[in-house]
């Protein structure tokens, strides 16, 4: 299937076993928070082969594999990957992530073998890591010390499986994390992260009312920052153009991983949308502009690819279309912008079944205040690493924006029905605005400083602030003997030096280092492009190379020093 060039005499046909196992994994639904089926399958895999296997309250699974002949007395090595995947699909695709298997597609491009999925994320992040581990356990020919195969849950939404794991669930002197995405690189550090939720319950009114005397959230005291935007939008005295509802849609973006892709110029659909909306308010200060609803982004760790909002305005439709055309030209001309297929469209809102008197919106004042807060939320790269070239140190991602009706808010529904987004004509007097924002930093002090800044911003604009997930960075130690040994194995195996670096993404190594500070860790993995998007694909030639490398590391444990005076950070 693949055409990896390897030294004479090597027979790496067992890579087919890795792919076969990956195909089985891909047939099992495993979105974050929906990992019961994959945990049960893993448990059965271990028990069917007579391995000691256990599962905890978080659905983390541990399979203990005895050493191969002659390596029984070596310390146990933990191989670790996460079971969940980011579930993204192309617009209009009918794939049901809770029931349908992924549709895998093998193809070649410029002589390289690739694997992808039809119109959905592939889940190579981190399904290929799981496949490596299970193939090593199932093989009778691979030399290895005692193995602890650790499969963790909910990595993609905050590393909560690793964080919820009891400290006595697993033990070992060494850990090889298999969740990296660049062959030829050993990762020895990662970013920590925090997921923040901003919320506010805001008054709504008849969309065509001219009364604009209310305050955001019904508060009687509004800070000066909020007051400064009150005059952005005022009722028009010109009745020649009646106010109408419109929808703006931003689409066509590549998206990507909010850590590893945050610095390469990918457009953020939420940011593009609110910046265009602000542009309208600044250019049409004498017109009615009132927000009805907004929805953008699907996951906290993904750069949003699509966003839309509906609003009422008396700006002529031709003017709106001209503004859109100018705006697309403007953002496309920015040299750092790397999203050539960006689309911004404005169209009549499809509200034909709603009586004019029933359409609800935020007032003009509250529209301005909401917009002012959204614009103030920082997005993108804040700081680059001073010690590692081209590595982002600290960043933020405006991941999800959505409005919910008052009825949904008080029901406390955790999962909205698809139809709930159409509840824009409710008779209730309030609507909730919710914003999910992710912060990352490779330095714990910087992360804490940014959290404080976001807290101050929310207080300034009278939004509720909640930290929903947080995890620590794994700060690099480049002097670890385990790292040096693994680097030498790569050089001997492939004839060239391995790159040693850190990544601006969360790895469970950060959690495990906090729990087990003396454990020696590295992270490796194959080339995965466009992770967290429907364009995700796995380089099979790189994947086979990582498989070869992993086996060489396992085989050489008998020759490694068994004491490492350095603590891997």
> Rounded to the nearest 10 degrees, what angle do helices 269-283 and 364-376 cross at?
130
Same domain for 232 and 112? no
Instruction: Report whether 308 contacts 273 (CB < 8 A).
Output: yes
Buried b / exposed e over 270-307, threshold 16 CB at 10 Å, is: bbbbbbbbbebbeebeebbbbbbbbbbbbbbbbbbbbb
CATH value at residue 276: 3.30.70.360
Do residues 315 and 331 make contact, with C-beta atoms less than 8 angstroms apart?
no
412 lies in the same domain as 486: no
The rounded distance, in Å, linking the Cα atoms of 494 and 545 is 9
Q: Domain for residue 140, yes or no?
A: yes
Give pLDDT, residue 56: 97
pLDDT score for 242: 86
Helices (H), 461-521: 481-494, 508-515
Shared-domain flag, residues 458 and 491: no
- pLDDT of the residue at 233: 36
* 433 occurs within a structural domain: yes
Report the alpha-carbon distance of residue 76 to residue 61 in Å, rounded: 17
First and final CA of the chain: distance in angstroms?
Answer: 39
pLDDT of residue 285: 94
Q: Same domain for 327 and 373?
A: yes
Q: Do 250 and 150 have their domain in common?
A: no
pLDDT of amino acid 237: 46
**Assigned domain for 404 exists:** yes
Instruction: Domain count for the chain, please give it.
Output: 2
pLDDT given at position 569: 28
Among residues 471, 505, 528, the one where a domain terminates is 471
Residue 505 belongs to a domain: yes
Q: How much of the chain is in helix, strand and coil states, percent to nearest 5?
A: 30, 25, 45
- Give the model's pLDDT for residue 430: 87
Beta bridge partner(s), residue 384: 392
Shared-domain flag, residues 43 and 58: yes
Enumerate residue ranges in the chain where pLDDT < 50: 1-12, 213, 217-238, 408-427, 563-569
Asked if residue 6 belongs to a domain, the reply is no
CB 291 within 8 A of CB 229: no
Q: How many CB atoms lie within 10 A of CB 71?
A: 16
Q: Does the residue 7 lie in any domain?
A: no
Task: Return the axis-axis angle of helices 481-494 and 540-555, rounded to nearest 10°.
Answer: 120
If we measure between CA atoms, which residue out of 348, 370, 386, 397 comes closest to residue 290?
A: 370
Domain membership of residue 241 (yes or no) is yes
Single out the residue of 318, 346, 344, 345 nearest to residue 332, CA to CA: 344
Q: Is 59 left (phi over 0), alpha (psi -120 to 50) or beta?
A: left
Q: Is the residue at 8 inside a domain?
A: no
Rounded to whole angstroms, how far apart are CA atoms 108 and 471? 38
Q: What are the helix (H) ranges across 230-363? A: 269-283, 317-332
Same domain, 148 and 216: no
Same domain, 244 and 311: yes
C-beta neighbour count of 398 within 10 angstroms? 25
Return the CATH number at 176: 3.40.630.10
Residue 10 is predicted with a pLDDT of 38
Nearest to 37 by CA among 53, 45, 104, 161: 45
Q: According to the model, what pLDDT value does residue 228 have?
A: 37
Picking from 418, 442, 471, the residue at the C-terminal end of a domain is 471
Same domain? 239 vs 185: no
The answer to whether residues 75 and 121 belong to one domain is yes
Q: Are residues 78 and 164 in the same domain?
A: yes
- Among 441, 471, 501, which residue terminates a domain? 471
- Please give the residue range of the domain that contains residue 198: 194-471
Q: State whether 248 and 380 are in the same domain.
A: yes
């Amino acid at each position: 299937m693949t055409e990896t060039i390897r030294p004479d005499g090597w027979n790496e046909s067992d890579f087919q076993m890795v792919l076969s196992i990956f195909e089985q994994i891909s047939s099992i639904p495993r979105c974050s928070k929906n990992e019961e089926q994959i945990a049960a399958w893993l448990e059965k895999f271990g028990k069917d082969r007579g391995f000691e296997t256990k599962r905890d309250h978080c659905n983390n699974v541990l399979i203990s594999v005895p050493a191969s002949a002659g390596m029984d007395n070596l310390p146990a090595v933990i191989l670790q990957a996460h079971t969940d995947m980011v579930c993204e699909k192309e617009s209009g695709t009918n794939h049901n992530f809770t029931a349908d298997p992924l549709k895998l597609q093998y193809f070649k491009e410029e002589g390289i073998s690739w694997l992808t999925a039809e119109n959905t994320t592939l889940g190579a992040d981190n399904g290929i890591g799981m496949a490596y581990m299970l193939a090593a356990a199932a093989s009778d020919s691979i030399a290895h010390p005692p193995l602890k195969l650790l499969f963790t849950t909910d990595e993609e939404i905050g590393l909560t499986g690793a964080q919820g794991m009891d400290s006595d669930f697993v033990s070992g002197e060494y850990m090889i994390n298999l969740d990296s995405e660049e062959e030829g690189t050993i990762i020895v550090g990662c970013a920590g992260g925090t997921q923040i939720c901003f919320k506010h319950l805001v008054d709504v009114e008849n969309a065509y009312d001219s009364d604009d005397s209310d305050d955001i959230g019904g508060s009687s005291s509004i800070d000066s920052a909020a007051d400064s935007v009150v005059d952005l939008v005022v009722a028009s005295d010109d009745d020649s153009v009646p106010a109408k509802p419109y929808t703006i849609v931003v689409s066509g973006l590549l998206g990507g991983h909010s850590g590893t892709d945050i610095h390469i110029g990918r457009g953020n659909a939420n940011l593009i949308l609110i910046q265009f909306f602000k542009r309208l308010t600044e250019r049409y200060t004498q017109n009615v502009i009132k927000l009805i609803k907004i929805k953008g982004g699907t996951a906290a760790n993904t750069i949003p690819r699509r966003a839309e909002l509906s609003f009422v305005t008396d700006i002529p439709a031709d003017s709106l279309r001209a503004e859109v055309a100018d705006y697309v030209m403007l953002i496309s001309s920015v040299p750092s912008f790397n999203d050539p297929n960006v689309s911004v469209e404005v169209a009549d809102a499809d509200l034909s079944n709603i009586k004019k008197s029933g359409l609800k919106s935020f007032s003009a004042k509250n529209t301005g205040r909401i917009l002012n807060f959204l614009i103030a939320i920082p997005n993108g790269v804040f700081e680059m690493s001073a010690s590692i070239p081209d590595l982002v140190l600290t960043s933020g991602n405006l991941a999800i924006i959505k409005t919910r009706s008052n009825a949904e808010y008080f029901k406390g529904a955790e999962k909205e029905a698809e139809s709930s987004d159409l509840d824009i004509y409710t008779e209730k007097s309030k609507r909730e605005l919710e914003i999910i924002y992710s912060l990352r930093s490779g330095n714990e002090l910087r992360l804490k400083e940014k959290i404080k800044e976001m807290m101050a911003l929310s207080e300034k604009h009278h939004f509720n602030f909640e930290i929903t997930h947080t995890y620590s960075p794994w700060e690099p130690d480049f002097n670890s003997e385990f790292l040096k040994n693994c680097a030498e194995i790569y050089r001997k195996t492939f004839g060239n030096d391995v790159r040693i670096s850190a990544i601006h993404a969360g790895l469970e190594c950060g959690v495990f280092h906090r729990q087990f500070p003396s454990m020696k860790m590295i992270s490796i993995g194959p080339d995965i492009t466009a992770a967290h998007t429907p364009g995700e694909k796995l380089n099979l030639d790189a994947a086979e190379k990582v498989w070869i490398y992993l086996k060489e590391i396992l085989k050489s444990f008998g020759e490694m020093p068994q004491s490492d005076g350095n603590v891997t950070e």
